[in-house]
């Protein structure tokens, strides 16, 4: 059951029509119809209003019965070299160092369906093969409102043969991202990665590892943490590394 199905089910339990729900939310009938048919999704603020209206949790509306271990809540922010150096020093003194690795990620998309679009639309889906030391991981993500995502990954033992299979299935390589990553555990809750991406620049990625509330609430906590770390929220990267390579968008400082 997806978000649209859950809205339908909860509305019918209240014996409300789409028009009645629309009136309560001060939107037009077509908006409710669009949500229920999954053509569009309500905003975060509207999801909260819906949860109050239907007397359920926002978490239920978003996840249904989805387990949190297949979810990821994170933010990525572009840094200058000076900002990168300062935050690295802070983390060295105030967090647990986990590891430093070189990671090479190859991104794919079907020739018949584009994951990435150029006309200002944000990335919400990707498929990649990532090299992590001796391990090779195939990873699929689908982002919801750029705040949390469904994530599934498995380890593979033959990257070349998988690449051949991808080509047979009509998947083409769209970007190769080469980055050096330093990873820290902060407050026993946040995994903070400092990335230098070849030909792209410096970034920080903060991911929730221990959930104490819903993904939406955890995202708000991420924003507060970023502010506490003096990070510029205007530099949040909502598109992801492959977008910049595909469309030759330069972000180096």
Same domain flag for 85 and 150: yes
Percent of the chain at pLDDT > 70 equals 84
Same domain flag for 86 and 157: yes
Looking at residue 217, which CATH number applies to its domain? 2.40.320.10
Assigned domain for 251 exists: no
Note down the domain range covering 94.
72-246
Question: Taking the model in full, what pTM does it have?
Answer: 0.63
End residue of a domain, out of 46, 63, 80 = 63
Q: What is d(CA 141, CA 151) in angstroms, rounded to the nearest whole number?
A: 5
Same domain flag for 25 and 77: no
Q: What is the DSSP string of 194-244?
A: EEEETTTEEEEEEEE-S-SS-HHHHHHHHHHHHHHTT--GGGB-SS-HHHH
Same domain flag for 34 and 112: no
Dihedral in degrees, nearest 10, Cα atoms 211, 216, 217, 221: 90
**Which of 4-13, 26-35, 146-155, 180-189 has the weakest average pLDDT?**
146-155
The tally of domains found in the chain comes to 2
Dihedral in degrees, nearest 10, Cα atoms 35, 41, 44, 47: 20
Q: What is d(CA 187, CA 222) in angstroms, rounded to the nearest whole number?
A: 12
Assigned domain for 132 exists: yes
Q: What's the pLDDT tens digit per position in 97-134?
A: 999 999 899 888 777 666 555 444 555 677 888 877 77
**Pairing of β 190-197 and β 171-186:** antiparallel
Same domain flag for 115 and 13: no
Same domain flag for 94 and 212: yes
Same domain flag for 105 and 56: no
End residue of a domain, out of 38, 63, 88 = 63
Q: How far is CA 182 from CA 41, 89, 90, in A?
A: 35, 12, 13
pLDDT at 59: 63
Same domain flag for 45 and 87: no
Phi, psi of 106 (to 5 degrees): -105, 125
End residue of a domain, out of 36, 63, 90 = 63
């Amino acid at each position: 059951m997806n978000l649209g199905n859950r809205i339908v089910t909860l509305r019918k339990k209240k014996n409300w029509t789409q028009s009645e729900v629309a009136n309560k939310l001060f939107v037009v009938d077509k908006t409710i119809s669009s949500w229920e048919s999954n053509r569009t999704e309500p905003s975060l603020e509207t999801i909260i209003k819906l949860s109050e209206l239907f007397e359920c949790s926002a978490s239920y509306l978003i996840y249904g019965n989805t387990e949190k271990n297949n979810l990821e809540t994170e933010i990525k922010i572009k840094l200058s070299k000076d900002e990168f150096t300062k935050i690295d020093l802070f983390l060295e003194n105030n967090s647990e160092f986990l590891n430093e690795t070189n990671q090479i990620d190859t991104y794919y998309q079907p020739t018949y369906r584009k994951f990435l679009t150029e006309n200002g639309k944000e990335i919400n889906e990707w498929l990649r093969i990532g090299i992590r030391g001796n391990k090779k991981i195939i990873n699929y993500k689908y982002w919801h409102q750029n705040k949390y995502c469904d994530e599934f990954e498995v380890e593979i033992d033959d990257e070349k043969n998988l690449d051949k299979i991808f080509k047979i299935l009509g998947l083409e390589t769209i970007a190769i991202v080469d980055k050096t990553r330093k990873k820290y555990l902060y407050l026993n809750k946040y995994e903070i990665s400092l990335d230098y991406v070849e030909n792209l620049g410096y970034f920080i990625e903060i991911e929730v590892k221990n959930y104490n509330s819903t993904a939406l609430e955890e995202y708000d906590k991420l924003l507060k943490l970023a502010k506490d770390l003096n990070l510029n929220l205007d530099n949040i990267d909502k598109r992801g590394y492959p977008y910049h390579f595909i469309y030759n968008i330069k972000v180096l400082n």
